[in-house]
Chain A
Amino acid sequence: MRKTAIVFFALVLSAAMLFAGGSKDSSSEEVVINYYEWDVPNQQFVEDFMKENPGIRVEVHTIPANGDKATKLDIMAMSGSDIDVMPIADGDQFIRFEQGMLAPLDEFIERDGFDMSNFGSYAEWGKGSDGHYYGIPYRATQTMVYYNKDMFDAAGVPYPEDDWTWDEYIDTARKMAAWGKDQRIYGTYTHTYANEWATIAGQVGKWYTEDGLCNIKDPAWVRALETRKMLDDEGTQMSYGQIKAVNAVINSSFLGGKEAMVTAGSWLVRDMKNKEKFPFDFEVGVAYMPRYDESVEGLRSNYSASVLCIPQNSQHKEEAWKFIKYYVERASDAIAASGNLPTYMPAYNEDIVTTFCSGSGLDEAYGEKFFNNDVQLSTNKIMGPDGAKYMQIINDEVPLYFTGEKSLDDALNTIEKRVNEEIVG
């Protein structure tokens, strides 16, 4: 017995010592920067970068693209681990800009004369509430209306036009739903993501009043919520509850021929490229998002952008910055090829549209719409440091309205009260 115990004691101790003395290779002059990513484009550009910068080695680490991806990176960034280049997605960045978790990039931007206006309105997605840049936008998504041309042909309904209004969209959806009724095909599809119901109303709606209070009762939001519920209830689209109950997803649903139209991000083009997973056999068309009403002008799309950041704890900020700069300036092709939209406007050209569409079967005339600098962008996301919390509160309440448990007034009152108490007050 004693022998066993002693052997174990020795084992544990020696093991502990082994790690305490853990090896650190500091011999080479080469600086290693670690880039963590869940949606890695073709890595040729990383090779190119290293060729041009012989002193720097970039290690790309792929992490799972599920709900916990941000948690892992946050923990790494906050605990001083080796992460040097950190992606943050689609609106998640703003609360993180406030934490002191990320290094401000203004010095680098000024020193290198890096022109943020090259990012157009995407630049806003890298800015903290203090006006400093903490992130560089590198890829974005724009929401469009995708439609199943074969279904429209069969129904004899004209394709959606680029310049159309919300009412026309509803009308089209109803026509398609009426046509598809016997085959259990819906007219359109609105997913259950937080604030997905607000993609069109985002063109005119304001989240805060001029006094900085909660403005969830803005007529635009009310109309958006009522519209979703109306389309759900009349069976024009799959209802909120049903999507939740069967765990429906956009790509399988639309590419599986369950509805005639869908509002979805540019990533749907990526999935169209994957014929093994999604073997669909119909023609897909793309239209811009409908206008809120006649008071809104121009071609419209809903958008959000992801950014690359440098954690405050990174030991190699200089090298990380060099890599980020190279990434956005030179790797736009790779980003487009992976079905995302590059954010760096000077890279927009004919080739990039070809690359973006290649393999998806999508006509390039449609693909071009994602790269149109004239399109008016708005967002359903709530930007700013409190946006994430605001959206959380909405998402706590709004489903109760969609599934008929609460009246719209009740839901809106609760949201208003909570936002004013927990965020404003």
Chain B
Amino acid sequence: MKQNSFTGLETRKVKILRILATVAVGVFAILCIFPFVWMLSTSFKYEIDVMEFPIHIIPRRVNTGNYSYVWNNSDFPLYYLNTIKVAVITVIGEITVSTCAAYAYARLRFRGKNFLFMVYLATMMIPSQVMLLPKYIYFSQLHIVNTHFALILPGLFSVFSVLLMRNYFTTIPFELSEAAYIDGASHGRIFSQLILPLAMPGLMTLLLLDFTWVWNDYMNPLIFISNEKLFTLTVGLQRFQEDASTSYALIMAGATISLIPIIAIFMFTQRFFIESFASSGIKG
């Protein structure tokens, strides 16, 4: 049985099982892309046709002008660059900072660990909305309001990332690092040369989730950035919104373009996932 999965030969039962699984997930997956389909379809419509009911997925009259309008009639390319800048710096910094901290929490013993960990966990229990005003006052004192630092610096220290990586690191068998330590490797080496490579799927997941957040963050850029030259995509796109009026067609055209990097990152991260196949399930 076992060999079958490697030679690519599968029993009929395995095949049926896999087809069933594919159909089950497939049905759910199709439901999941409805909003994306709507987005895409809206981005090719005239505003006047957007909120029609029942919905026409294939636009009755196709308007390709939304994309060129979004690209040319705003600082869209600049917003794109800003977002890339903020996202790349934040994500790289955040991954570095949080994997280090997660390593300490997951695999090292030190006094105060449990207390500090509880503090970390507790910070996640405060809704960000209540902090908007105190944070604005405080960040003004730090002179980082209206700069990208107001987005990047708090982003570097995401507690979620620490928790996620801590969880992942704890799943790696401790015997591995103990053996290396007895062989004389420092904690730095164990971390960077043993644990990190083993944690690739976890790291890639972190990369994906972090990137998604920073990329889609709306409230922070809205509140902390006032200079239009520093806007990120989410806020920049909302500029097509007019008072008592909507511009879904334009916003969705922009949203579709801004989704491309996320899809690219997703595809990239999945390359680090090993494909394992069920070879059986089957006897009996």
Contacts and interface: CB of A to CB of B under 8 A. Distances in A.
B138 to A, nearest CB: 9
Interface in A1-35: 1-5, 8, 15-16, 19-20, 22, 34
A222 interface: no
B227 A79 contact: no
B153 A15 contact: yes
A230 interface: no
B94 to A, nearest CB: 12
Interface residues of B, number: 50
Nearest to A36: B226
A181 interface: no
Contacts of B47: 252, 277-278
A156 interface: no
Interface stretch (B9-17, B164-172, B235-243): B235-243
A19 B245 contact: no
Nearest to B52: A256
Contact of B239 (A62, A78, A249): A62
Interface in B18-48: 46-48
B100 A5 contact: yes
A68 B222 contact: yes
Nearest to A238: B53
B85 interface: no
Interface string B123-140: 000000000110011001
Interface in A240-264: 246-253, 255-256
Interface in A78-102: 78-82, 89
Contacts of B180: none
A358 to B, nearest CB: 18
Contact of A19 (B97, B142, B192): B142
Contacts of A417: none
B48 A256 contact: yes
Nearest to B235: A64
Tell me the interface secondary structure of chain B in the complex: helix
Nearest to B132: A75
Interface in A49-73: 61-66, 68, 71-72
Contact of A61 (B48, B132, B227): B227
A8 B188 contact: no
A271 B97 CA distance: 49
Interface string A260-278: 0000010100110000111
B188 A2 contact: yes
B96 interface: yes
A75 B226 CA distance: 12
Contacts of A255: 48
A282 interface: no
B246 A249 contact: yes
A64 B238 contact: yes
B228 A61 contact: yes
B163 interface: no
A36 B241 CA distance: 16
A347 B154 CA distance: 49
A219 interface: no
A66 B250 CA distance: 15
B243 A75 contact: no
A256 B49 contact: yes
A75 B133 contact: yes
B243 A80 contact: no
A76 interface: yes
B245 A251 contact: yes
Given A36-B226, A65-B241, A277-B249, A246 B48 contact: no
B78 to A, nearest CB: 14
Nearest to A78: B133
A278 B226 contact: no
Contacts of A410: none
A64 B249 contact: no
Interface in B138-156: 140, 142-147, 149, 153
Question: Top 8 A-B pairs ranked by shortest CB distance?
Answer: A1-B188, A22-B143, A64-B238, A277-B47, A79-B137, A246-B53, A79-B136, A256-B48
16 contacts: A3-B188, A22-B143, A34-B226, A36-B226, A62-B239, A64-B235, A80-B137, A82-B226, A248-B51, A249-B51, A251-B245, A252-B47, A270-B245, A276-B69, A277-B46, A279-B46
Given A39-B242, A78-B133, A277-B247, 18 more contacts: A1-B187, A1-B188, A1-B192, A19-B143, A22-B142, A71-B223, A76-B226, A246-B53, A248-B51, A251-B245, A251-B246, A252-B47, A265-B244, A270-B242, A271-B245, A276-B69, A277-B48, A278-B48
Interface of B: 46-53, 65, 69, 96-97, 100, 132-133, 136-137, 140, 142-147, 149, 153, 186-189, 191-192, 219, 222-223, 226-228, 235, 238-239, 241-247, 249-250
